[in-house]
Amino acid sequence: MTLSLTDTFLRETRLYHKGSPQNAYECFETTRLAAEPALLKRFVFLLGAERVVPEHRDCHLYELFRASESVGRELTNQFYAL
């Protein structure tokens, strides 16, 4: 299964299945993940525990977030340079 990951200012995380319509996603609210162990367990399972919570290195999601921020800044700079 191929998933795509997006976040909305860290209030929620949506997992999209590639090849499915845009409205086909699973949403995980950050506050619920913190409060409900079963939901957090499902979230970690779907993403792959080693990728989400590695033992000896930073989580790959930090790298994805930094890349997303960088692209956002670049697009903003290009837009205002016009």
Tens of pLDDT, residues 1-27: 555 555 555 788 888 876 777 788 888
Q: Exposed, middle or buried: residue 44 (CB in 10 Å: 0-12, 13-18, 19+)?
A: middle
Instruction: State the average pLDDT over residues 23-48.
Output: 87
DSSP the chain: --EEEEESTTSEEEEEETTS-TT-EEEEEHHHHHH-HHHHHHHHHHH-HHHHS-SSS--HHHHHHHHHHHHHHHHHHHHHH-
The residue extents of the domains of the chain are 3-81
Instruction: State how far the Cα of 82 lies from the Cα of 65, in Å rounded to an integer.
Output: 26
What does the pLDDT read at residue 50? 73
